[in-house]
Structure 1
Amino acid sequence: MNKLKLNKLQKLPVKQILTFVLLFANFICWSQEEDRQRRLEEQKARLQEEIRQKELQLGMQRKKEKDVSKIVANQKEKIGLQLKLIRTTEKQKKVLGNSMYINQVKVNQLKNDLQILKEDYAEMIEKSYKSRSEQSRAMFILSADNFLQAYKRAQYMKQYSTFRKMQGEEIKDKTSQLETYGAKLGVQKKEKEKLIAESEKEKQDLEKERQEQERLLNSIKKDKKKIIAEIRKKQKESRAIEKQIERLIREAIAAANKKSGNASNTTTFVLTPEAKEMANDFRSNRGRLPWPVEKGALTKRFGRQPHPLEPSIMIESSGVEISSERGAQARAVFNGEVSDVQMAPNGTATVVIRHGDYLTTYSNLSNVSVGKGQKVSTKQAIGSIHYNSFTGKAVLKFLIYQNTNKLNPQSWIKNM
């Protein structure tokens, strides 16, 4: 018996260290799960706001009922947002499920530890009760064969008393932990039930929207020729604006290089040390640049893609289009200098901002609040985005270039 109890006492510090390590590891896992849940909540809130804006736009369009094809295009954007919302909710359920599993494992572990501790503690109390008299304790010490053995027995009695007290404290601590994790699991179960209900509603809303879209698509099949003609007209206008931007960029390169004594180079910027530093800063922020609008939804991707209304027609997008609400402001995505401000044939303006040998362009502005040569800072408003009262949208056309090379904004803007 003595050897067994002494062994327990000798191993106690190791147990405490292991317990601390396990608790710390659980805390790290829990913190990571909490962080993921927070990010998903932010993403979900943004998607819900975008869907709300899209519903307002659809409501305005349905009242006018002038161009069904535009309603369908807007509806397709809303369906895309709803799909993203469903995927976000599913991710939330998965993250919550993982967190619940970790907490359940901890609860099971605590229950097991608590049972062992209580059994061990009960055994110690029983043995202590049997030898509770001061006389029996004194006899245990005095019956030693020699002084050294008597000293060791006295030390053992002291350590045994301390250990029993520590066991009692550990039982209290683990009982408290068990109550905490149990309460946490209760909250998480309610949260999961809420997410399941939300997910089901989101899926039902999506199905209704798809049925409505199918009805509208069937109604516009008769006007296919008219729709194709309208698409081609819009493509022509878009190409004209892009050609104007490319001309502005070439002119900006030529002017900058002429100023630095390199007039022969018209395709790449010859960078000063300051401009080189700006370019390096811009490049190092790839994937982390802010959106060029405070609130908005991506409605046209970069590159070659089928038209959303007529898949047989392929369209080429040199940048991206972002739909926002009435009164939305375009804003600079990085520090730089306004290289040019130009008016398009349709009466809207384009602003070009230079960041070393990188350029960002902002088109479809109804008015501009910056001028050529002006220094701008990240997120600074540069002009109002033109609002189309019929579509109920303010659409910003946003492009990124390095010299004359078009870049995909989706790989530069955060979470685009």
Structure 2
Amino acid sequence: MKEWISITLFMIIALGTHGQSSRSDLEAQRTSLLKQIASNTKLLANAEKREKSTLSDIQGIKAQIILRQRVVGTIKDELHLMTSSISRTEQNLKQLNTSANNLKAQQARHMKQAYMSRKMENPAVYLLSANSMNEAFARWRYLEALSRVRRQTFSLLIMQSDSINIELARLQRLRADKQLLAENAIEQERALNKTKKQSEVVLRDLRKQEKQIKAELDRQKRESARLASEIERIISAEVSKSTTKNALPNAPELAALTAGFEGNKGKLPWPVDRGMITGHFGNQPHPVIKSIKISNNGVDITAPPGQ
């Protein structure tokens, strides 16, 4: 009989020890899981922050690209106008050259005619062959005016030609400068597009990481809830065994206490002689990780061994 009692007590103690071990293991797993949840929550917050920053960078790059495109468009318009101006200037220069050539040809014809008529072989002979002083003076004025007009015409043509050449050179230099600006703007636009593509790759990677972290968080939260449910089940089983084992001998007193439970608030006897409350009922911050909330469906009392 004593042996049977000893075996029975040993089995009860072993079962109790196994329950405590399973509960401790589950609580340790849940604590570790809550730490991982907190760490992944921080990682997710950092990833979301980086995503916002990257999105802001991409928007800024897009704005710069639009500005560069506008600059390139404006420069191209200016280049088009300059090309038209250069074409007109070149046409004017061509006309002046044609006029100069015509004037030279006209002068050559006059000289040829004068040579053929022998009237202008020697201006002095042409003047002295006049019938009167008035005719000689008129001939002199004619020769002087003709010479002056030709000199002025040539001078004017040369001045206009020089002026047009200067303007043409200026326009060509300006067009070359504008062309260089356009090429630089296009190169900057290409660089911005390259940076934009790189930022978009980073953004895709960040969103992929966020998706993975969220999936892992969901899995960890489900696992945490499962562990909490399992811990609660073990605690309920332990409480049930303890209540059955340590049932109060005085059944009428127990019935009186349970019958008027609300009225006996503050009068219920402690389940142990000595102990302290270490876990309250309801939702509360985790004792280690303050950013995590845990749910307790009972009251935890810590007592010395043997209580």
**When the two structures are superposed, what TM-score results if normalisation uses the length of structure 1?**
0.36
Query: Is the radius of gyration larger for structure 1 or structure 2?
Result: 2
TM-score, normalising length from structure 2?
0.47
Q: Which has the higher helix share?
A: 2
Larger RCO: Structure 1 or Structure 2 (Cα < 8 Å, ≥ 6 residues apart)? 2
The structure that is strand-richer by fraction is 1
